[in-house]
Amino acid sequence: MNKLMTMCTAILFIVTLHGTAEEELKKVDLSIGINPGQEYTHTKWFVVIPMNLTPQMAFWVEDSRGRFVSSLFITEKAAESSWKGGDDVTRPEALPVYFHRYESAKSIDTLSGATPKQKDAKSREWSRTLHLKPGEYRVMGEVNSSFDYNAAFQKQEGNVNGQPSLIYAAEFEVAPSGSVWPTSLTLQPIGHGDSQGKNGDIVYTTKGLTTALELVDKVHASLK
């Protein structure tokens, strides 16, 4: 009888813990969008053939310690690694911070889509419903465009990247009550990724970046 009661008590305790853990998760609806900058679209000439290039982008949420939580959006070409030149072409330098965060988390929740054309980009938002524990988080963004060489990041053999990816971030907090603060965010540029895609570290400077700073004029998010 005592063994049975002990077992029942243990089961009840586990169920209670599970219920408490579930109750800790708070629903957060998050939408993110951009205002395109004057360099959002630029033309690259391949001999006599012009090609209009738009940036690769990724947006995600991570906790205050930099641990990946969830994707919000990634451009389709980067998500599927469908680069010009064939199936064996890889571009780890395109979005190195996102790629490393995503791979480290073994996540399978990527939401992808085509890069919106400049005339449509301002009206596009990507939304996601998240279930988060109370705590501090960051909305992150990474934006990069090919063939945007400059004096600091010159053309090198086999490298089409030019300037490295620009990293944006803004912080928010989920309270134990489930309320979110602030409810609107403007992500600020905080640094860049590795220009060769060798790692997922953020270099906390924008020194040497020129047109990369003008790919997007604003990255904004709303939460509720």
Residue-wise pLDDT for 57-88, tens only, equals: 999 999 999 999 999 999 988 887 766 654 55
Report the alpha-carbon distance of residue 120 to residue 127 in Å, rounded. Answer: 16
CB-based contact 64:140 (threshold 8 Å): no
Look at residue 103 and tell me if it is in a domain: yes
Look at residue 99 and tell me if it is in a domain: yes
Among the listed residues 74, 97, 76, 55, the one whose alpha carbon sits nearest the alpha carbon of residue 211: 55
Look at residue 19 and tell me if it is in a domain: no
Residue 189, token pair as written in the block: 């540029």
- Give me the pLDDT at residue 42, please: 79
Look at residue 54 and tell me if it is in a domain: yes
Work out how many domains the chain is built from and give that number: 1
Look at residue 15 and tell me if it is in a domain: no
For residue range 124-143, list pLDDT tens digits in order. Answer: 899 999 999 999 999 999 99
Among the listed residues 218, 146, 149, the one whose alpha carbon sits nearest the alpha carbon of residue 189: 218
Look at residue 18 and tell me if it is in a domain: no
Find all residues with CB under 8 Å of 143, minimum gap 6, and list them: 55, 56, 57, 165, 166, 168, 212, 215, 216, 219
The model's confidence at residue 159, banded by pLDDT at 50, 70 and 90, is low
Quick check: 13 pLDDT over 70? Answer: no
Look at residue 65 and tell me if it is in a domain: yes
Q: How far is CA 42 from CA 46, 52, 53, 146, 218, in A?
A: 13, 6, 5, 10, 18
Among the listed residues 192, 180, 210, 200, the one whose alpha carbon sits nearest the alpha carbon of residue 92: 200
Q: Which residues of 43-65 are buried (b: 16+ CB within 10 A; e: fewer)?
A: eeeeeeeeeeebbbbbbbbbeee
Backbone angles phi, psi at 12, to 5 degrees: -60, -40
- Give me the pLDDT at residue 123, please: 65
Half-sphere exposure of 132 (CA within 13 A, CB side): 30
The percentage of the chain sitting over the pLDDT mark of 70, rounded to a whole number, equals: 76
Which domain covers residue 80, as residue numbers?
Answer: 26-223
CA angle 166, 169, 172 (to 5 degrees): 170
Among the listed residues 129, 136, 152, the one whose alpha carbon sits nearest the alpha carbon of residue 210: 152
Cα dihedral 208/211/213/216 (nearest 10)? -160
- Give me the pLDDT at residue 52, please: 80
Quick check: 21 pLDDT over 80? Answer: no
Look at residue 3 and tell me if it is in a domain: no
